[in-house]
């Protein structure tokens, strides 16, 4: 089924670092933003270490919204553990740190918890055969979408509950900030000694949270409260209840049982042929022949060709002819060395050496005759 995603210009994908997924997204959706799951990165990076401080520093790096915060946390990690800092550079932090995410997606997620929740939900279904597995997943998705649709239709507020919580938290934190006015609806915000520039016309803040999340940060909330305006007017439409309802507006349709399927008077789908009797290599397997093997035109396919073979006479141990046409005197082959430990006589002398000397003496005597 084609989802009509195009080149992925307006989509953000979050996954783990599976090579198949990386290659598929790069080929099918070359312009999509492909983020990596930070928890999978942490698990692989901190596999052999149980230091909780490394985990704390990692999440500070992953949740940094600006390049300045990112560099500061990376330098702190380098001072704490240089080896861990060097190993973390290999994981490509540009794919899992918020400081490098594309602005406009209104999504700051760097975890694929949705996939993990889905895998946990179908744990029992994965024990079933393939067709029953697919049917169980279809039913669960159908019921899940319907429940979400009911919840969204019952909601009476303008934004979702999560968005309202984020707005109220930003307003509460913005009370501790100090505002300095400038021309052009631009403000300078003092947040405990750190200064940020807020542009109310462009809906941007120097901390990067507002333009990445789509919800005003505490610095923008400070300006909004001072101007006695509503923070709801500066929140992205992606968080509205209307958008939430449209997300779950269409669900998977129910499927009729096989007894209610229409009869088309066509041949049924047959199972594949049983290949238990056809063991071994298939007969049509064309194996490549070596240089001295017989070609496919030869009548025998099990014997080697005599082409370019060097014959050795078993009578005189010379090359170029066989025993049938040999006129040279017979040459006795060299005696084989016995296996195992050498036998010894009562005096401790090796019997094998005595037998070797006797064989050599008999061979010399035969050559003299």
Indicate the domain borders of the chain. 12-121, 161-247
172 Cβ partners below 8 Å, 6+ apart?
A: 218
Q: Taking 90 as the threshold, does the pLDDT of residue 222 lie above it? A: yes
pLDDT digits (tens, 9 = 90+) for 13-54: 898 888 888 898 889 899 999 999 999 999 889 887 888 999
Torsion 190-191-197-200 (CA) sign: negative
**pLDDT interval class at 271 (50, 70, 90):** confident
Mean pLDDT for 53-57 is 93
**Cα separations in angstroms, 74 against 91, 100, 176:** 13, 14, 28
pLDDT at 356 over 60: no
pLDDT at position 268 is: 80
85 versus 304: the higher-pLDDT residue is 85
- pLDDT tens by residue, 146-163: 999 999 999 999 999 999
Who wins on pLDDT, 366 or 75? 75
Burial string for 34-61 (b: 16+ CB within 10 Å, else e) reads bbbbbbbbbeebbeeeeeeebeebbebb
Beta carbons within 8 Å of 54's beta carbon, 6+ residues apart: 46, 77, 80, 81, 84
Question: The pTM is what?
Answer: 0.66
Whether 234 and 187 have beta carbons less than 8 Å apart is answered as: no
């Amino acid at each position: 089924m084609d989802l009509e995603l195009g080149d992925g210009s307006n989509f953000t994908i979050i996954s783990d670092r599976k090579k198949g997924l990386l290659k598929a997204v790069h080929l099918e959706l070359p312009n999509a933003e492909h983020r990596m799951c930070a928890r999978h990165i942490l698990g692989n990076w901190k596999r052999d270490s149980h230091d909780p401080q490394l985990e704390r520093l990692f999440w500070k790096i992953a949740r940094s919204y600006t390049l300045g915060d990112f560099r500061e946390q990376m330098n702190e990690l380098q001072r704490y553990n240089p080896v861990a800092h060097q190993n973390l550079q290999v994981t490509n932090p540009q794919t899992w740190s918020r400081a490098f995410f594309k602005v406009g997606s209104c999504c700051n997620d760097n975890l694929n918890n949705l996939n993990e929740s889905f895998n946990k939900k179908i744990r029992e279904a994965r024990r079933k055969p393939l067709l029953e597995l697919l049917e169980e997943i279809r039913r669960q998705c159908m019921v899940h979408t319907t429940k979400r649709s009911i919840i969204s239709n019952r909601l009476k507020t303008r934004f979702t509950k999560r968005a309202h919580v984020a707005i109220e938290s930003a307003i509460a934190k913005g009370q501790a900030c100090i505002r300095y006015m400038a021309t052009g609806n631009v403000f300078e915000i003092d947040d405990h000694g750190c200064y940020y520039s807020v542009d109310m016309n462009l809906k941007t803040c120097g901390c990067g949270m507002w333009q990445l999340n789509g919800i005003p940060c505490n610095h923008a909330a400070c300006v909004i409260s001072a101007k006695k305006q509503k923070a709801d007017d500066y929140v992205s439409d992606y968080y509205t209840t209307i958008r939430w309802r449209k997300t779950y507006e269409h669900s998977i349709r129910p499927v009729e049982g096989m007894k209610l399927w229409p009869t088309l008077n066509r041949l049924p789908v047959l199972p594949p042929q049983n290949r238990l009797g056809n063991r071994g290599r298939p007969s049509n397997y064309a194996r490549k022949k070596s240089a001295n093997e017989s070609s496919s035109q030869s009548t025998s396919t099990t014997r080697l060709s005599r082409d370019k073979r060097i014959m050795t006479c078993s009578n005189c141990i010379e090359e170029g002819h066989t025993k049938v046409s040999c006129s040279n005197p017979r040459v006795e082959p060299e005696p084989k060395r016995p296996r195992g430990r050498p036998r010894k006589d009562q005096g401790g002398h090796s019997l094998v050496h005595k037998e070797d000397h006797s064989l050599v003496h008999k061979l010399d005597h035969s050559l003299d005759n």
